[in-house]
Structure 1
Amino acid sequence: MTIQTIKLSAPVDKSTFHSLPASNGVYLFKKDNVYLYIGKSNNIKARILSHLENAKNILKERAIFDNSNKLEYISVDCEFNALLLEASLIQKHHPKYNVIWKDGKSYLYIKVTKGDEYPKILTVRKEYDNKSLYFGPFSSSKDVEILIRSLRKVIPFCTQTKITSKACFYHKIGLCNPCPNVINKLEDEHEKKQQKYLYREHIRTIVNILKGNTDPVLKSLYKKLSLLTLKQDYESAISIRNSITHFNFLIHFRTFTHEEFTHIAFDNSLQLYNLLKPLFPNLNKLFRIECFDISNLSQKQATGSMVVNSNGLLDKSQYRKFKIKRLDSQSDFEMLEEVIKRRMNNKWPKPDLIILDGGRPQVTVIKQLLNSIGKNIPLIGIAKNPDRLVIGNGFLSTFKPKL
């Protein structure tokens, strides 16, 4: 970890910071050896220039520059590491202005309980006992929310404060596994002991991640994946593969400004357009994309949903839900046919592309429907296991694109 230093002396202007990198990292305002403010950014140079601009109108920001005689910065490879480094440095040095800037609102900590039979991972506003591990403080609740959510996708864990007799909701969607509620109901003591050990191993792995020890964790996941593949335990191997994918996202995640996000959305839309153009020669634009899915909990509660993407961004004001009216509808593609037909009877803007949750049966039915009502709209089905696209152009073709 290399620390770079810029001396600050009046007058401080943009030229003072010309050598700052436009990369992930942590920056530290100091007066001699006293830490005044510590922050992080995915673009150190832009963030410091933003502080400088705000100092013209905000007294607290002006005070940081007036009282600092040097700026230190540490470049890191990803925003995840910047987030952890910022938290550890704030905890270690207690900078004066990091406290003042919160206007009395406490920082967030990630708490890992140690004395519980099943250790828990929680977010709290302050450290208040010696029986738990604390990671932080974190200045952004949004960052903590993303971090916790991403951690659960990598290593599932329990957030319930009490153990009950039923498996929790998160266990059903794979975010709490093994679930303490399920473990407690096991009659086989040997299996129960194994599951408890596995749960605690998960917590130890998360603690390592929060300490910044990401490389050993990633190597361990790859090792498990290889062993499961050799044993031909493909279901477990897929689960570990998904954990690796989420873990790579976690250690490289970054937040975006609105402008950055707009550019990314445009680039993604352009990439999809270029992929589809050879398959749909008449596709001139990709402004409105409509996605359809059927939820069929029971024949009486079946509904169809329409999600709309406008100009590269999700447009929630255009979302629609359709209650299935046909009592004789027995299959998903019959229900889908009803939903698309009702959608086409409305005077909503014409979609440039329709995406269906389904494979060849769904695409075939909807393609025939669109042809029968004279609608020439590009059509794609997204099928799973294995993941593939079904293209409904002049003929049906199936392939797995490299996006």
Structure 2
Amino acid sequence: MSTCIVSCNKPSIQAVPTTTGIYIFCAKKKPAYIGKSINLRARLKSHFENAKIDAKERSIIESSDMIKYIITDSEFKALLLESRWIQKYRPRYNVRWRDDKSFLYIKITIKDKYPKVLITRREDDHKSLYFGPFSSVNIVRSVLKEIRRVFPFCTQKKSGAKRCFYAKINLCNPCPSEIEKLKTSKKLKATRQYRKNIRSLTKVLEGQTEHILKGLYRKIDTLKQQQNYEDAIQIRERIARLEGIVMRKKFDEDSIDQYNQSTKQIHALQTLLKTYLHVQNLHRIECYDMSTLSFQHSTASMVVFTEGLSDKKEYKRFKIKAPVQSDFQMFEEVLTRRFANTWEKPNLIIVDGGKPQVRAVQKVLLKQKITIPLIGIAKHPDRIIFGDDSLITIKPQRHHHGFRLIQELRDESHRFAKRYHTYIREKNMLK
């Protein structure tokens, strides 16, 4: 892979090809920002266009004196190359504009008897191998999902008495839980195979895919000579899958576009809120909504967006247990139950409602001595109520990126709460 250089100005971008690769904004030859794209020219043009309205983009361009770019065969290769370069050079703007908690890494517990492959936000274990950083949990999951079909591995933190779910669909094979039950000779063979899978996975993430493929092709030749055609066919299928991953021209493009949009919304929302509230980052946002009919069969939802994207595995629903006659009583029960758990704390709480609902949540947070920024979103027309002493209300422009994110959270929490409320009502009607 060769590195090409152009000047950091819009006319020079025309010389950049429309192919896949990574690009590096440089300030005095030092990387200031690293990105990747399936269309380098279009992506670089978008940086210059966005600089007209986005302070981050403007700062990157004004501080850079040249742009380097490296062409890759596929987006998968660009993805891994981008993460290695960011980890190596720690560019100023890749770090400065994103809180450390928002970076994602693939962690391999290489010192374990059966190394596990995990997704983490911290490089806090010197005994493990880390690959990244990656910008989106969807991208990381997609990468691991594809590689796992070629080299199965375990994601359970502890081995159990029974084989894991992924072992049943051949994505954890051999499964550490099953290996432990084998007799000495078979156990040794299975352990070696598992660790071999981990070594192959590691080499793929290091960008040494060609080395792995050559080894697999040699294995096929050996198996053919031994007339072991059944195993040879399995290796050939593994090669086809691995080559398919490496040479894919597009890799989870929808997730990447979704991530880029969510990043814009997060920045816009931070800018909108900082005038009225002390918000350091918006890594995790929780939105609450109540669904009730004359305070009967009352339910509540807690919807979570992580890095501006819906994080459905973090969603929670609540059935109001105590007899209630007010919003305050419902919010008090829900938030008391929520903060009694060890779930990750939010950076912002949003409540679907106007001043009465915001006041109710304020009282609950004050009573529990919880200090978390709070806003409400009222309807007809949509407007934001800030959870400060004066309950300042503003009505942002309809297409404001940050406001759109709040509306998405409100709509999702309303949908989730209403669905559970309808389920509870129908269930009670059938009794």
TM-score, normalised via structure 1 length:
0.60
Tell me the residue number matched to 1:170: 166
Name the residue aligned to 1:398: none
Which of 148, 162, 179 does residue 144 from structure 2 map onto? 148
Is the Cα–Cα contact under 8 Å of residues 106 and 126 in structure 1 kept in the other structure?
A: no
- Whichever residue aligns with residue 5 of structure 2, its letter is T
Aligned-pair identity in percent equals 45
In structure 2, the partner of 1:43 is: 39
Task: Measure, in 2, the Cα distance between the counterparts of 1:118 and 1:36.
Answer: 39
Shift of 1:104: 5.5
Corresponding residue for residue 353 of structure 2? none
Matched, 1:33 2:29: yes
Do residues 53 (structure 1) and 45 (structure 2) align? no
Partner SS, residue 185 of structure 1: coil
Q: Which runs of 4+ in 1 moved over 4 A?
A: none
Deviations 1:283-332 (A, max 9, x none): xxxxxxxxxxxxxxxxxxxxxxxxxxxxxxxxxxxxxxxxxxxxxxxxxx
Query: Mind listing any 5+ residue stretches in structure 1 that lack a counterpart?
Result: 262-403
Q: Of 225, 235, 239, which aligns to 1:244?
A: 239
Render the CA deviation track for 1:59-117: whole Å, top value 9, x for unaligned.
11111111111111111222122111111111111111112332554211111112211
1:185 is aligned to 181
Distance, in Å, in 2 between the alignment partners of 1:164 and 1:247 is 30
Q: Take 2:231 and 2:121, find their aligned partners in 1: how far apart are those partners?
A: 37
Tell me if 1:120 matches 2:138.
no
Give secondary structure in 2 for the equivalent of 1:176: coil
| Deviation string, structure 1 residues 342-366 (Cα, Å, up to 9, x no partner) | xxxxxxxxxxxxxxxxxxxxxxxxx
Where does residue 22 of structure 1 map in the other structure?
A: 18
Match of 1:62 in 2: 58
1:290 alignment counterpart: none
State whether residues 76 and 251 of structure 2, in contact with CA within 8 Å, keep that contact through their aligned partners in structure 1. no
CA distance in 2, matches of 1:129, 1:257: 31
Q: C-alpha offsets along residues 199-218 of structure 1, whole Å, 9 cap, x if unaligned?
A: 11111111111111111111
Q: Which amino acid aligns with 1:185?
A: K
Distance 1:183 1:5, change over 3 A: same
- 1:59-138 to structure 2, matched below 5 A, reads 59-103=55-99, 105-138=101-134
Counterpart of 1:214 in structure 2 is: 209
| Deviation for aligned residue 1:180 | 0.8
Aligned residues: 254
**2: CA distance, partners of 1:111 / 1:176:** 17
What is the deviation of 1:131?
0.3
Instruction: Give 2:173's aligned amino acid.
Output: N
1:71 partner letter: I
SS at match of 2:141: helix
- Partners of 2:75 and 2:208 lie apart in 1 by 15
Change in CA separation of 1:104 and 1:177 when aligned onto 2, cut-off 3 Å:
closer
Task: Give the number of the structure with larger relative contact order, counting CA–CA contacts within 8 Å between residues 6 or more apart.
Answer: 2
1:151-180 alpha-carbon deviations (Å, 9 max, x no partner): 100111111111112121111111111111
Give unmatched runs, 5+ long, in structure 2.
Answer: 258-431
What's 1:279 paired with?
none
Relative to structure 1, is the Cα distance of residues 165 and 216 closer, same or farther in structure 2, using a 3 angstrom cutoff? same
Offset at residue 54 of structure 1 (A): 1.2
Note the C-alpha offset of 1:182: 1.1
Structure with bigger helix share is 2
**Residues in 2 aligned to 1:216 and 1:60: alpha-carbon distance in whole angstroms:** 40
2:193 maps to 1:198: yes
| TM-score normalised per structure 2 | 0.56
After superposition, the Cα gap between the structure-2 partners of 1:244 and 1:40, relative to the gap in structure 1 and judged at 3 Å, is same
RMSD between aligned residues:
1.9
Alpha-carbon deviation of 1:224? 2.3
Distance 1:83 1:218 in 2: 19
